[in-house]
Amino acid sequence: MAIVGVIGGTGVYDPAWLSNLQEVEVATPYGRVVALQGELSGQTGRVYFLNRHGAGHALPPHRVNYRGNIWALHALGVKRIIATAAVGSLNTAMPPGSMVLVDQFLDFTKSRPATFFDGGDEGVRHTDMTDPYCDASRARLLAVAHELGLPVVMGGVYVATEGPRFESAQEIRAYRILGGDVVGMTGVPEVVLARELGLCYISLALVTNFAAGLSPHPLTHEEVLEVMAEHGQRVKALLQAGLSRLGESYSCACQP
């Protein structure tokens, strides 16, 4: 059995599907991180939940404590992470409401600490990032989605932008030429840091809007929240059912 951690993004703040919830506090080299420990009904073993943006969605994407969050989950014994993400779509085959299990990223972030290996005591390490998202775990979550009758797009290129502003129409045109399918502000460096510590990481993205220039109207965070609320039940249903499947023992290329 592997301990699974969930990182809840925009609109996924409350792990109502877990029981016996209790707060655990982890002191990390990057500050104190508070996670929720709980159990899945009918299952033994613990699961952890972390709210990416902190209590009350207080942290914008460029100020999220990515290193602290991943360090804390690792310190708690988590081996596999499912993260959720609200994203804009660059691809007409992935309209709002689509769930996407992304398989690659393009990184356009600018100002975030993006490694645990910063020289000095930590040393220098260059981590392989050929396949950032765990294929075996994605396949398992896809199988669960099929069982639940939930459509999921298997694979997609996640474009990570710095935010907190939305993109210009020309940026989106450029990202499309580069092969981007969806765009969000938090997926990197989260996945990178997880891979640096040898954790399996998958991202379940929910498309909340067509991206700038493709959307018929200007983008707002309220629209993202509304669409997330409208479709969030499916994300949560898949998380709940998928958690126990990701806790089973199976091998994958992520862990040394």
Q: Which residues bind ligand HPA (CB under 6 A)?
A: 86-88, 161, 166-167, 183-185, 208-209, 211, 219, 224
The sign of the CA dihedral 147, 151, 152, 154 is positive
Q: Give the count of beta carbons closer than 10 Å to the beta carbon of residue 21.
A: 14
Which of 167/196 has CB closer to ligand HPA? 167
* CA distances for 91 relative to 38, 88, 96, 176, angstroms: 37, 9, 10, 8
Shortest Å, Cβ 137 to ligand HPA: 23
Whether residue 89 contacts residue 96, with contact meaning beta carbons closer than 8 Å, is answered with yes
Which of 73/86 has CB closer to ligand HPA? 86
C-alpha span between 154 and 192 (Å, rounded): 20
Which of 49/210 has CB closer to ligand HPA? 210
Please give the residue whose beta carbon sits closest to ligand HPA in the complex: 88
Shortest Å, Cβ 104 to ligand HPA: 17
Shortest Å, Cβ 142 to ligand HPA: 22
CA nearest neighbour of 82 among 17, 33, 170: 17
Which of 19/220 has CB closer to ligand HPA? 220
Shortest Å, Cβ 4 to ligand HPA: 24
Which of 78/211 has CB closer to ligand HPA? 211
Shortest Å, Cβ 134 to ligand HPA: 23
